[in-house]
Each structure stands twice: as structure tokens, then as C-alpha cells.
A and B are shown apart, each in its own frame.
Chain A
């Protein structure tokens, strides 16, 4: 017994610090979520200071659940996170396998591939939405414009003109619109996080046993079979890690959503919290508790699938 007391004692400062670190914000959020607490209300100035006398019970939760954006924000959170995970893992595996072969200029290509990861999220969003996705001034607008011009020119050409007259005029997509702004966020975050996946997968590929590959070659395995039966299982663990880390990060996306459409047509839970927090701290806190619950559901779900791979 006594030989355990000392280690416990020595651990306690760290444990206590961690508990305070987690428990204080969580309990404050919980507390605020059960009272009326707003930043500005001329008719009820007493709501402007947090106090138990302003107790509202589950009122804030009801208010949040009934607000028109709540379900939408949860769906959108999941849509964004899942799409990004799907795309980054697939792109990451493909690119990592490609650049794992040796070719001239390998070093430079690898550095270039990793570089998007070092761009700040807000800068990334501004660059994408203004310079690439913008329907008029961005690359997209310019590309669509030039294709239309080209087709226009060909319509007047003798002989083949009739064929090009059948072609429709292309219209550029506005990624700031209600229906498309989530896709813009998915595209730009995928671009930024694919390098992270590549980096992790590449290090893992370099530790792949070459003799296993040679054994497989002798066993008559095609390149595809080697990838399917050796490389992919070998990447199981790094894929699990990439999925876990990214899921945690992307549930709290904010900057990209703010910059692309200011939440217009595209909200996730953190963004909703931000909107409520402009005035209604009580509702914002209740949303925060919902976000904690969602994160936990996702985490348990992931741990179930991913944890198995990690334990092997």
C-alpha cells in the first residue's frame, strides 16, 4: 500500500492541474447553460450578470433545439468532417504510394507536397475563395470564361461550327452561395490536410518490409495485389491515426466557414456557438454542451472502428 502512496502523491499535481484545466471550463459552461445570461438586454438588465436567480432549467436547451439552424449545423458538421476524412485518406494513400517510388527531383516534390500544411487556415481560406474558386476573378472564373470564349469562337468556324453550337454555355459555380459553401470548405481543408496524411503514410511506407514484397512477388502477386494485401493492411494503423486526429480537428472548423460565407448556408456547431455568443451566452453554452456530446459520440464511434486497428 505504502509503495503506491508516493507515486500517487507525485502524480497528483499533474492530475489536479489537468482536472482544473478541464473541469473549470466545463462546469462554467454547464452553469451558464442553465441560466439566463445575455450580454445586452435593456428591458431585463438583471440577465446581464450570471446569477443563480436567473435559473432557466432546460430552457436554453429547448431554445437551441428549436432554433432553425441547430439540426442543420449538426448535419453540416458531420458532412464536412466525413467528406474531408474520406478525401484526405484516399488522396493521401495514393500520393504517398506514388512518391514513395524513387524518381528524380523526389526531395523537392516531397517538400512541395507537404507545404500546404504550413499555411495558416485563414490565409488558406482567403486564397482559395478569392483566387481560385471565385466565379469571376478566380482561376475557376478565368478557366470557365476562356472555355466559353473558345467554344464561342469555334461556333463561327466553317464545317465544325454546327457541332460546337450544340455545346451549352458553361456557368461558373459560386462557392459563396447557400448550397455550395460547404463544398468550398471541404475542398480547401482537404487541400490543406492531405499533406498531413501523406506525411504520416509516407513514413509508414518507408518502414514497410521489402522482403515481404519480394516474397509476394515470388508468390505471384501483381502490383495491385501487393498493394491490396500488403501495403493497405500495413497502412491500417496510420490511417486510423490520421482519421482520429483529423476528426478532432475538423469538428471545430471555424475560420474557413467564417471567411467563405459568414455561415450563410454553411454552419457547424462551433459556428452556431459563435453566433449565439454575440449576445445569448446561455444559448451558446447549451450549444457548447451539445457539441461536447456530439464530439463524444463521434469519438466513441471512431474508437470502436479505429481502436481495433490500433490494438492489433
Chain B
């Protein structure tokens, strides 16, 4: 079990309030991702749940039990840190055994769990090495192993993949998602990378300056962003936001259209502009178009074999059904 509820939780460091009153429910078995720009309070929120920081006010409930003033080790949560936080003087085996040793578990049970965790994380051959002799990905796996053996009611991850290179990141992302599918344990995952959020989450919590901007499934956030911030944050490349006359035509202050919902043509279309940079990815081409009123540059996704060249004329037509409209306060208009 691992249902986590935050009720009117706030956190201040001295005078500055990092988390204004915040309510959030994470259901048992969910994969929740906190996503937002750096410094928006994601880690702080995670540490409040873990108990590494005390709440300034409000309550943290785990499985309907008030855990606000319960010590971190008694909350039944396991955390994986960005810097791995392995114990450098201990072998991998001892690292993984540490929480069980602290809990006074029998040697036999400890070994059983270590073997199981090592097997599922491909660490069996490295059990007698020290963390210093492992690669980044292996270290992160050890940290995950140390969390698994505790059999926690929820896993907390604080940007666990940020220190890894791009290729490894994709691999580990899959492994963690796989692990969640297998274990069905609640996981809370913090990242500033919206791709990680979209690919891994059941539930995404978008944060900005300690405030929850929107909570929802990846596709909800993609199709119905509640405001301009979420619209710009979710999706890659970013949604094009158009202001001025073009937006007013639709009765909105700002309209948004994603690059994949604009058709590019060399001959005719609704808007006319000139090609800036064309980025060829093979599967797609992202064209940055200049000279369109209210949005400069506008990013457009074209086919992989498109042949737009710098300085050429280009015509764009948005898919009207995929248009997002926002009012003066930046909120979505249905």
C-alpha cells in the first residue's frame, strides 16, 4: 500500500516561502512525476514527503495515517538520489544490505533479498565491488537495489537519471518503468525533463514556483493544457504561442498550436514566412519559420524528406481542431 496525501502543505526557508499551500493525492500504485523548471520546489516537495524536511504547516498522510512528524525511516518510503548517495566504503553487497542490517533482519533473509535484487538489476557480477569501480548506470542500479530490498510502500526518485549520458538515460528510463509495471508500487519521480515525465508517468504534476499548475495523465496535459505555462512546458518541440490579431480572430488573447499540427507547403497556405533553420532528424524535419505575425520564430514539423532551405518562402496551415485558446490571464478557453 502507498497512498500519499498532502493537505495544505507549506514550506518556508526562513522568510521565503518555497511551497505555498498545496493539496495533492497520489493513489496507491500510481507512477506520479513531478515536473517543472529548476528551482520550482520539486525536490523540496519530495523531501517533505520523505520527511527529510519538516513541513512549515499542513499534513502529510501515508495510507491515511498522519506521518507529518514521524521520522523518515518510519515512513516506509525509499528514496533514490540524483548523486546516487552510495556508501563509498562499502561493497555493493553491503550497500544493498545496509537498510536491512539497520532493521536487524536475519543474515539469511538479507542474502535472499540481495540475490533477488541483484538478479533483477543485473548486478550479480558486481556485488563485491566498491561503488567507485562502477559506471554511472551501475551505481544508479545499486541505489535502486538498496531501495527495493526495503520493500517500501512507495519509491521516491529525485532526478535519478540526470547524471547519466543520453543513451543510458533512455535505457534506465525503460528499466524503471518496467520495474513499476512489475511491482505496481507507488512511485514518485522528480524530473525537469518533460520527455521523462511524458514517457514514464500515469500522473504528471506540473509545478511552477511551488504551485501546482496542472495534474493529469500525459495525454490530458498534451491535449488540454490548463494554461499557457503547461502548454509551453509539455511537448517537444514547444508549442507555438501566437499573440495579437491572429489570436483575436479566434476570440482569445493567445492561441497555441503544436509544431506537429501545422502543415508546411512551398506553394500555398494560411500564413506566409521564410525558412530560418531546418533541423533534419531523419524521421522528421523541424523548420523554424520567421516573419509570421505574433510568433517569431514558429516551429513546424515537416516530413523527414522535406527539402526546405534557408531563406526560402514557406506557407503554413494550422489544424484548426488542434488550436489551443488562452485568455488574458493565460488560462485555457474551451
Given A216-B87, A217-B73, A234-B89, residue A211 in contact with residue B98 (CB < 8 A)? no
Interface residues of A in 196-222 (CB under 8 A from B): 209, 211-212, 214-222
Measured CB to CB, the closest approach of chain A to B278, in angstroms, equals 43
Cβ-defined partner of A211 (8 Å) among B77, B78, B81, B146: B81
Given A209-B83, A212-B87, residue A219 in contact with residue B77 (CB < 8 A)? no
A222–B83 Cα gap in the complex (Å)? Answer: 22
Interface magnitude class on chain A: 10 to 19
| Given A217-B73, A218-B77, A219-B98, 17 additional A-B pairs, CB 8 A | A212-B88, A214-B52, A214-B79, A215-B79, A217-B52, A217-B72, A218-B72, A218-B78, A218-B79, A218-B99, A219-B99, A219-B150, A221-B73, A221-B102, A229-B98, A234-B88, A236-B89
CB pair A211 B85 closer than 8 Å: yes
Measured CB to CB, the closest approach of chain A to B317, in angstroms, equals 51
| B103 CB–A CB distance under 8 Å | yes
| A225 CB–B CB distance under 8 Å | yes
CB pair B87 A220 closer than 8 Å: no
The 3 lowest CB-CB distance pairs between A and B, nearest first, are: A233-B89, A220-B73, A219-B99
Measured CB to CB, the closest approach of chain A to B243, in angstroms, equals 43
Majority SS at the chain A contact face: helix
Interface magnitude class on chain B: 20 to 34
Residues of A within 8 A of B50 (CB): 218
Residue among A215, A217, A233 with the most chain B CB within 10 A?
A215
A241–B107 Cα gap in the complex (Å)? Answer: 36
Given A219-B146, A219-B150, A233-B89, residue A211 in contact with residue B83 (CB < 8 A)? yes
Measured CB to CB, the closest approach of chain B to A210, in angstroms, equals 9
CB pair A216 B72 closer than 8 Å: no
Residues of A within 8 A of B146 (CB): 215, 219
Residues 94-110 of chain B, each 1 if its beta carbon lies under 8 Å from chain A, else 0: 00001100110000000
CB pair B81 A215 closer than 8 Å: yes
Given A233-B89, A234-B89, residue A220 in contact with residue B83 (CB < 8 A)? no
Residues of B within 8 A of A221 (CB): 73, 98, 102
A163–B52 Cα gap in the complex (Å)? Answer: 54
A236–B88 Cα gap in the complex (Å)? Answer: 12
| A113 CB–B CB distance under 8 Å | no
Interface residues of A in 221-245 (CB under 8 A from B): 221-222, 225, 229-230, 233-234, 236
Residues of A within 8 A of B102 (CB): 219-222, 225
A220–B70 Cα gap in the complex (Å)? Answer: 12
Interface residues of B in 131-153 (CB under 8 A from A): 143, 146, 150
A216–B103 Cα gap in the complex (Å)? Answer: 12
Interface residues of B in 53-109 (CB under 8 A from A): 72-73, 77-79, 81, 83, 85-90, 98-99, 102-103
Residues of B within 8 A of A215 (CB): 79, 81, 85-87, 143, 146
Residues of B within 8 A of A220 (CB): 73, 99, 102-103
A216–B85 Cα gap in the complex (Å)? Answer: 9
Between A and B, 6 residue pairs with Cβ closer than 8 Å are A211-B85, A218-B50, A218-B52, A218-B73, A219-B102, A221-B102
Residues of A within 8 A of B98 (CB): 216, 219, 221, 229
A211–B46 Cα gap in the complex (Å)? Answer: 14
A209–B103 Cα gap in the complex (Å)? Answer: 23
Measured CB to CB, the closest approach of chain B to A216, in angstroms, equals 7
A236–B89 Cα gap in the complex (Å)? Answer: 10
A222–B72 Cα gap in the complex (Å)? Answer: 11
Residues of B within 8 A of A211 (CB): 81, 83, 85
CB pair A214 B103 closer than 8 Å: no
A230–B85 Cα gap in the complex (Å)? Answer: 11
CB pair B73 A214 closer than 8 Å: no
CB pair B85 A214 closer than 8 Å: yes
Residues of B within 8 A of A218 (CB): 50, 52, 72-73, 77-79, 99
